[in-house]
Amino acid sequence: MSKPLVIVESPAKAKTIHKYLGGKYTVKASVGHIKDLPKNKLGVDVEKDFEPTYRIIPGKEKVVRELKSAAEKTNEIYLAADPDREGEAICAHLAEELGKRSKKVFRVLFNEITAAAVRKAFEHPGKIDEHKVEAQIARRVLDRLVGYQISPLLWDKVRRGLSAGRVQTVALRLIVEREKEIRAFVSEEYWTLAARLLGENPPPFEARAIKLDGQKFRITSEAESKQLVADLQGVPFVVQQVVRKEKQRRPVPPFITSKLQQEGYRKLHFTVKRTMTIAQHLYEGVEVGDEGSLGLITYMRTDSTRISQEALAHVREYIQASYGQPYLPPKAIHYAARKGAQEAHEAIRPTDVERTPDSLKPYLKADEWKLYALIWKRFVASQMNPAIFDATEIGIEAGRCTFKATGSILKFDGFLALYQESRDESLAAEEDEEEKEGQLPEVRGGEILSVEALLPEQHFTQPPPRFTEAMLVKELEERGIGRPSTYATIVNIIQNREYVTQKDGRFIPTETGEVVADLLTGSFPDIFDYKYTARMEDHLDEIEEGKEYWVDAMKNFYARFSKKLKQAQKEMKNVKREEVPTEESCEKCGSPMVIKWGRYGRFLACSAYPECKNTREITRDTNGDVQVEEARFTEETCEKCGRPMVIKKGRFGEFLACSGYPECKNTKHIHKAKNGEVKAVRDIPLDESCPVCSKNLVIKHGRFGEFTACSDYPECKYIKPKTTGVACPQKGCGGEIVERKSRRGKAFYGCSNYPDCNFVLWYKPVPEKCPSCGAPYLIERTNKKEGLIRYCGQENCKFKASLQPVGTT
């Protein structure tokens, strides 16, 4: 028999592990999960203890065949997927498919991909953790029951294509409820009062009023403020107490997943998904010069702050050598675990603290380096001594008011020499006031201070802020909703479903998002309750720990869920068929206009439909109230029917449309000049005929840029593909590779014979033979590290040429 077979999830991880294991093992990648529930049906038998029906994922047949072929040549299979529920499920499915013929199947676990960790794992292999597998099955079945049984309800009551999710709907609910709080918020006026004071010793300093007539300081009008300032004229400002003390600010723990996502957003402006993608690369392995592929950080999906004794010893040695004895605590710092944390894992840390960010900068892409530096600094700082401040607080009595002045001077920077955690904006102002920098003058009790100025200032209370990605992750974590490994997926889903949009980095629910959240929380108040969702996560943890049987948890859930589902099918409001009367009249036939629900939200329609198909747009004001938009006519005329063009809003912004719609469906891309003038972007005629209807082709402008189409578009839907000049490499196909666009406008390259041929490339092929292996085309792409490059796409060819290195023009 041949060498033992090792299977991991990704090719990058396979490459790194193969390097550490040498030639003693064959290392293959499963490329993620190989089995899942079927897409076209529920796949869960609720009558037979929720038995799931797993199938090979479409498109993974080739991978499974290759793995089976490799498995037939050996008696030993080592499954080395990630150390979490998903990784355990991947291993279980691989064992089912590959270990049927008396194979010895082992499970190997490591939290970091280093030579020592990998070799140690292979010296002490274990078995698949069935409890972890059951926890993953329970989560998958839960999500499938909710998604596949509630989503059709939304299709029937709202529109097709919508979806519900056990956790995504709760995250959406948070955003929608925050938006309602903002709309309902009534701003209130309030005033603060500061005094610029001078004692016997300079310099002058400011104190703020904290009490009025013995109560918390509160003034709500300019008249009150003026009266108080008048009352304080000539009143002595007497120092009542001076408190000087030493304050410490302790370092924060090393990163867990959720904290890394939050800091990645705040400090580096990375989306949650971007942070996790980069962290995955750093964990699985990055090419580091002559050393080859190295795993640079520990496993990035963890809720534990635990650090191994070996890593603690190394970081303490590094702090001693690099910063000196004053920065090194007498003993290692151990951080308390959060409730439910998986202490078998470690925190996210560098695999080797000696690999400083500066030493790795030549080998990492810019974003990889930034995230690695963040992880490295946080880890090292977490084992350094606290920062020490000399803090002074002066209490001052003046007539009806009590004033307080605070100041602090950094005495020893400690861990702040390396790292300072960012803060939520809601806490920043309060903390800044508590730790106001600057030295206060020497004053004594009973000293009377001179008043240089009284400084009243008007303010208005602000509504709660909309969620950023970091704030949403923090809120989910604090409520125990979902798990850190799922947050990136949740944030992505609610945006991809167009339930929320982002403005200035903050989430705003769309009209569809609000409708979906209201319908689901109204019909399923328990299932989408914050506390209930958090309790379900606790049940999954207990299943993983072997304290609860997964089928029992499903039965308890489904008994409640199925009852609410039947009730919702009968009672949920049918938004799709709802018509809300208005006082507006149809300008075409005089019939009353009604508010209806369409694919992109509410709109105004003639009640005489289908005889009259007139429609108008409606918007919402800042309070969420419906506003009817008058048609915005322009000086542009429709070249097809001669009627004036009007400005309309679609899901991708404003565009010009014929006022004769629906009889004439002509639309135009628009350009807004700096003075606000709106002009249509003209089609550019070509000396080329449409192969479908023989009319001229024109260059048109759409939401994703220029495209060549029939001049009669959209009546004739011919769009000319952009050819690359490269023939499709699939045998017997005869097609050519053309540029295509994804639903979101991203360019990719596929065969012109699609769907008969599914050949696809994500980067542009160039009709140029590979000088190394003779392949008929090269691939062209740009990356931040190397600039514009061309390389060969053949698996065993390493040809690569730089066309425009980084930094050149």
Q: Among all residues, which ones are annotated catalytic?
A: 299
Q: Give whole-number Cα distances, 298 to 74, 283, 295, 680, in Å.
A: 30, 6, 8, 54
Residues 629, 616 contacting (CB under 8 angstroms): yes
Closest CA to 516 of 163, 246, 244, 756: 163
Burial of 496 (0-12, 13-18, 19+ CB in 10 A): exposed
| Amino acid in position 122 | F
Q: Distance of alpha carbon 193 from its chain centroid, rounded?
A: 41
Q: Exposure pattern of 34-71 as b/e (b: 16+ CB <10 Å)?
A: bbbbeeeebbbeeeeebebebebbeebeebbeebeebb
Q: At what angle do helices 272-284 and 257-268 cross, to 10 degrees?
A: 120
Residue 157, classed as helix, strand or coil, is: helix
Contact between 662 and 649 under an 8 Å Cβ cutoff? The reply is no
**What DSSP assignment string belongs to 493-559?**
HHHHTTSEEEETTEEEE-HHHHHHHHHHHHH-TTTT-HHHHHHHHHHHHHHHTTSS-HHHHHHHHHH
* Angle, helix 85-98 to helix 61-71, in steps of 10 degrees: 60
Do 512 and 520 contact (CB within 8 A), yes or no? no
CB of 454 within 8 A of CB of 232?
yes
**What ranges make up the beta strands (E) of 351-491?**
387-398, 401-412, 448-460
For residue 529, what are the CA distances in angstroms to 138, 158, 172, 469, 480?
A: 19, 22, 12, 21, 12
Cβ neighbours around 26 below 10 Å, total: 18
Q: Are 89 and 137 in contact (CB under 8 A)?
A: yes
**Residue located via tokens 């610029």:** 196
Q: Taking Cα atoms as reference points, which of 227, 223, 197, 228 lies closest to residue 211?
A: 228
Find the angle CA(560)-CA(564)-CA(568) to the nearest 5 degrees: 170
Q: Both tokens of residue 682?
A: 């003209």
At residue 97's C-alpha, the angle toward residues 96 and 98, to 5°, is 100
- DSSP assignments along 287-307, one per residue: E-GGG-EE--BB-S-------
> Nearest CA to 501 among 486, 515, 491?
491
Please give the structure tokens belonging to residue 595. 């508010």
Q: Distance of alpha carbon 683 from its chain centroid, rounded?
A: 38
Do 352 and 114 meet the contact criterion of CB atoms below 8 Å apart? yes
Rounded to whole angstroms, the Cα distance separating 559 from 705 reads 52
Residue 766's Cβ-side half-sphere holds a number of Cα atoms within 13 Å equal to: 11
DSSP-assigned letters across all residues of 760-796 = EESSEEES---TTT--S-EEEEEETTTEEEEE--STT
Quote the CA–CA distance of 494 and 506 in Å, as a whole number: 13
| Residue 395 · residue 416 · CB < 8 Å | no
What is the largest distance, in Å, between two alpha-carbon atoms of the chain?
99
